[in-house]
Amino acid sequence: MSVYSLKTTDKVPEPTLRRLPWYLSTARLMKGRGERYASSTQLARQLGMDASQIAKDLSFVNVSGRPRVGYTVDELIDVLERFLGFTERHYAFLFGVGRLGGALLADSGLEQFGLEIVAGFDIDPSLVGHEINGIPIFHTTEFPRKMQEYAGVNIGVLTVPISIAQEVTDMMVDGGIQAVWNFTPFRIRVPENIVVQNTSLYAHLALMFNRLNLNK
Amino acid sequence: MSVYSLKTTDKVPEPTLRRLPWYLSTARLMKGRGERYASSTQLARQLGMDASQIAKDLSFVNVSGRPRVGYTVDELIDVLERFLGFTERHYAFLFGVGRLGGALLADSGLEQFGLEIVAGFDIDPSLVGHEINGIPIFHTTEFPRKMQEYAGVNIGVLTVPISIAQEVTDMMVDGGIQAVWNFTPFRIRVPENIVVQNTSLYAHLALMFNRLNLNK
């Protein structure tokens, strides 16, 4: 049994999953400063959080702290990266090469976190047949064929206008996409076995504006 | 008293705030189809949600439904846009013109939701003095002076490497920024009166990967 066996089959609470990247980035910073060990107390101090919360969160990943010294920084980074899925390669198609979609194709930053967008789809003749950042853009009608051609794609990034968000989602799901990363402010509906991750920048903007108003 | 007086001083629950953009996008779609009225039952059917939840959420915004017909689509759009802060102009500086930062400058889509990024800051000599999408990029050291020059900027968009995320946040806050839109996976610390909105694409990726693994 590997030291790094991952308990990914356990259901990890979403708040924990949201906090794990904080511990990863802090561990990376500590490594950058040449530090070798990180206790949950040290992590807590740097993050302004409760040490017991951190210890509890880290109990979901198989990393074993040692008394006094805590976790090894290298092991913490390694285990968190694996646990969060950043070391695996995931392949995605992107639907809707507008402003946001085009920006996501151009930003290869997602790759270092394990997401590789291998093709974009659009119906705009000025885009189809072209490339952004080396990523080809096909006509949306070609999707089912490309799904056969590119093996291993199971994620669809949704950056289309809201008026066609559901229609494109249905097409994706019919074609075999298993997870939709939804950047639209539209609540898409999918069968139960399909994963939806909503990342609406506009919803986040609204939250921020609202809190700013409360502070006035 | 205006018909559209907004209750922005009430504390609206965050889950409600996250759902309001769904109702807005659905109302926009209905308007596009020429529909004039939207009941919470109709909204519920289109969104696959509970009608009572929608009615409860909408009770936080001052929109009055009429028996049988429901809300006027136009009024619903207008009130939600105002309530969510999308009709007001908010001005922001962006810190860190890397891949993601550059993409956000290039994407003018945020403007239609009320956020105008008026300048970027970086230390890279190949960026300073240039423009992206008509938005000037200044050296980070110029920030305090630019804060005086550009009146009304109170939001800082944070897209720097994690190693300097806290340092740049402290500088922003010292300079008078009141809300930080944090795109880094780093947990920044701010004084109590400063708003932080975390939008870590990587944390969302991790959530999606994790759920995909559970489905395997």
* CATH code (residue A38): 1.10.10.10
Classify B157 in phi/psi space as left (phi over 0), alpha (psi -120 to 50) or beta: beta
Tokens found for residue B54: 């929608």
Residues A101, A79, single domain; the answer is no
The whole model's pTM is what? 0.83
CB contact under 8 A, B17 and A206: yes
Q: Is residue A1 part of a domain?
A: no
Query: Quick one: pLDDT band at residue A3, thresholds 50, 70, 90?
Result: very low
Q: Are residues A131 and A183 in the same domain?
A: yes
**A30, containing H or E segment:** helix A14-32
Query: Is B131 found in the same domain as B109?
Result: yes
Are residue B100 and residue B192 in the same domain, yes or no?
Answer: yes
Q: Is residue A214 part of a domain?
A: no
Identify the pLDDT of residue B35.
93
Q: Is residue A3 part of a domain?
A: no
Interface of A with B in 13-32 (CB under 8 A): 14, 17-18, 20-22, 24-26, 28-29, 32
HSE value, Cβ hemisphere, 13 Å, CA-based, for A18? 8
Same domain (yes/no): A25, A110 = no
Q: Are residues B98 and B156 in the same domain?
A: yes
| Least confident interval from A107-111, A119-123, A200-204, B49-53 | A107-111
In a domain, A105, yes or no: yes
Q: Is A212 on the interface with B (CB under 8 A)?
A: yes
Which of the two residues, A121 and B45, has the higher pLDDT score?
Answer: A121
For A:108-137, CB contacts with B below 8 A are: 108-110, 113-115
Query: Domain containing A69: what range?
Result: 14-83
CATH for B185: 3.40.50.720
Are B14 and A207 contacting, i.e. CB atoms less than 8 angstroms apart?
A: yes
User: Which residues share a beta bridge with A92?
Assistant: A117, A155
pLDDT digit string (tens) for chain B, length 216 residues: 333 334 444 578 888 988 999 999 899 999 999 999 998 888 998 888 899 999 999 998 878 777 777 899 999 999 999 988 888 899 999 999 988 898 888 877 788 889 999 999 999 999 999 999 999 999 999 999 999 999 899 999 999 998 899 999 999 999 999 999 999 988 999 999 999 999 988 888 988 998 888 776
Looking at the fold, whether A95 and A72 belong to one and the same domain comes out as: no
Is B199 found in the same domain as B94? Answer: yes
Residues B95 and B171 in one domain: yes
- Amino acid sitting at position A138: F
Structural domain total, chain B: 2
Asked if residue B8 is part of any domain, the answer here is no
Task: Give the helix ranges, DSSP H, for A34-98.
Answer: 40-47, 51-58, 73-83
Scanning B151-190 for CB atoms below 8 A from A yields: 154-155, 162-163, 178-179, 181, 184-187, 189
How many Å apart are CA A198 and CA A187, to the nearest integer? 8
Q: What is the mean pLDDT of chain A?
A: 89
| A169-181 confidence digits (pLDDT tens) | 999 999 999 999 9
Residues B78 and B101 in one domain: no
| A207 touching B (Cβ < 8 Å) | yes
Instruction: From B58, B83, B108, give the residue that closes a domain.
Output: B83
ipTM (interface predicted TM): 0.83
Cα–chain center distance at B118: 16
* A46 domain-assigned: yes
